[in-house]
Structure formats: structure tokens, C-alpha cells
Amino acid sequence: MVNLEQIDKNRIPRHVAIIMDGNGRWAQQRGQERSFGHQAGAETVNTISETAARLGVEFLTLYAFSTENWNRPEKEVQALMQLFIESLKEEVLMKNNLRFRIIGDRERLPLDVRECIDRCEADTDKNTGMTLVLALSYSSRWELTHTMKVLAQQVQDGTIRPCDISEESVAQQLNTAFMPNPDLLIRTGGELRLSNYLLWQCAYTELYFCDTYWPDFSANDFYQAIIDYQHRERRYGKTREQIQ
């Protein structure tokens, strides 16, 4: 078990992004349907949100549903949509002073999910605690393509010139413009890939992979990831001497 004194309170990552993988395998290991794993995963979302907020993380971004996940069996997609509605509880967000936001192609989401999201975003907008972001119907390629269309339109309208396009102006058009880039990305479930998640934003993010399936991922596992992150040297392309 991690002793909390091992964590340097002055080096808490400002933004942690998580790929919550392994729900399906967790359920199948128990002879259950995949949706059972997603339900258990929703409980882990609560545990890890509270743990991250208590540590002082400012932004927690969870990959809940990718644009590719629309290709899953209809039954699983419907169960996930229903789970989002059931799990997004304004009173829990309010109690924990969390600000709630969504990134992704919200137009593709069913109306009842959109209404639930809109309500949670509006009601928690003035909260001052951690911002909990769900990536829903999200993928980096979707986000970047959308951004390119917006910028191309601005050029066509004559409001900007191609030479005005910079890294900053691209970042300002992304869905994630309201948040800093992730400092730490955690992927549970043993796979070693980014799966179309925050590819622009993770250019200099520290990556942490663990085998634990998301439903089993505990506060202690989260602390371990934070401690691992705190031992990394972030150089952003500079030399060690320059950093020191």
C-alpha cells in the first residue's frame, strides 16, 4: 500500500487523462456480460474522481466512449448510453464541488444523453473544484478534422489568413481549448496504445500503463501512478542541464 507521505503535494499533475480499459474482460472473467463490467467501471469513476479531487488534481479527463465505439454491438452501445444517464448525478457532482464538461461529437449522442449532459454542465459551471471531463463520442482524428474545417471556413470567409494559423490558434479551436494539456495519461487494462485519444494534447504528456482492469483500479493504484509520474524528468525537448 502506498503511504500518502510518498506523494509530493507540490508536484501533483494538474491534468490527468485516463483510458479506462478492461471492463469487458473483467466481466467475461466472471462469466458476465460486458455491460456488467461497464457498471462496475462506473463505480471506479466515482472512486477515482474523488481521489483525484482530494489530491488536488485540477482536471480529470476520462475516455468514456470513442467515435469507434459506435461500431460495437447495438445492445452494448445502448447499455452504455443508459449507464451514462444513470451515473451522471448532479447531486454527487455538486456535493464534491466538481465542474463537469464533455468533449466529443455531442450531436451523435441520443437526445436524452445530451439533455443530461447539458444539465450537468450548466448546473456545475460555477463550481470551483476539480473539472471532471468525459470524452464521449470523442476521437482525436474527429476533433482535428473538425478543427481543420473551422479554420478552413475562417480562411474562406477572410477572417484569418493561412499564415495566421499557429499552434496556439489550432489549440484554441480544439474541443479541449478550456483545459491545459494532460501532464499524465494513465491506461488501465494492459494495452500499450493511445487509441485515438488526445493525440495533439499528449505531445509531452507522461504515459503510464498498468495491467489492472478498470473496475479493479483503486485509489492506491492511482497513487502509484502519481508517484511514478513524480519520478519522471520532463524535458520538453530540452537537455537535462537546461532543465536543472
Helix (H) or strand (E) holding 138: strand 131-138
Closest to 20 measured CA to CA, from 229, 221, 165:
221
Cell numbers linked to 169: 490558434
With respect to ligand FPP, which residue has the nearer C-beta, 72 or 170? 72
Residues 6+ apart with CB under 8 A from 126: none
Cα–Cα dist 139/45, whole Å = 20
**Rounded least distance, CB 233 to ligand FPP, Å:** 31
**Rounded least distance, CB 218 to ligand FPP, Å:** 15
With respect to ligand FPP, which residue has the nearer C-beta, 55 or 134? 134
Percent composition of the chain: helix, strand, coil (DSSP 3-state, to 5)? 50, 15, 35
Restricting to residues 36-65, name those near ligand FPP by CB under 6 A: 38, 41-42, 45, 62, 64
Question: Would you count residue 83 as binding ligand FPP (CB under 6 A)?
Answer: yes
Of 10, 46, 69, 175, the catalytic one is: 69
**Rounded least distance, CB 232 to ligand FPP, Å:** 26
In the block, which residue shows the cell 473496475? 215
Restricting to residues 140-179, name those near ligand FPP by CB under 6 A: none
Interstrand relation of 131-138 and 59-66 (parallel, antiparallel or unpaired): parallel
For the chain, report the end-to-end CA distance as a whole number of angstroms.
32
Q: Is 21 a catalytic residue?
A: yes
Question: Would you count residue 185 as binding ligand FPP (CB under 6 A)?
Answer: no
CB 46 within 8 A of CB 130: no
Q: At what angle do helices 34-55 and 219-230 cross, to 10 degrees?
A: 50
Question: Would you count residue 85 as binding ligand FPP (CB under 6 A)?
Answer: no
Cα–Cα dist 206/232, whole Å = 8
Contacting residue, 102, 133, 189, 229, with ligand FPP by CB under 6 A: 189
**Rounded least distance, CB 224 to ligand FPP, Å:** 20
Strand locations in 33-93, DSSP E?
59-66
Question: Would you count residue 104 as binding ligand FPP (CB under 6 A)?
Answer: no
Question: Would you count residue 24 as binding ligand FPP (CB under 6 A)?
Answer: yes
Q: Is 69 a catalytic residue?
A: yes
Closest to 57 measured CA to CA, from 222, 231, 228, 221:
222
Restricting to residues 113-142, name those near ligand FPP by CB under 6 A: 134
Of 21, 23, 175, 183, the catalytic one is: 21
Segment lying near ligand FPP (by CB under 6 A), choices 23-31, 96-104, 118-126, 199-207: 23-31
Binding site for ligand FPP (CB under 6 A): 20-25, 34, 38, 41-42, 45, 62, 64, 69, 83-84, 87-88, 134, 189, 214
Catalytic residue annotation: 21, 69
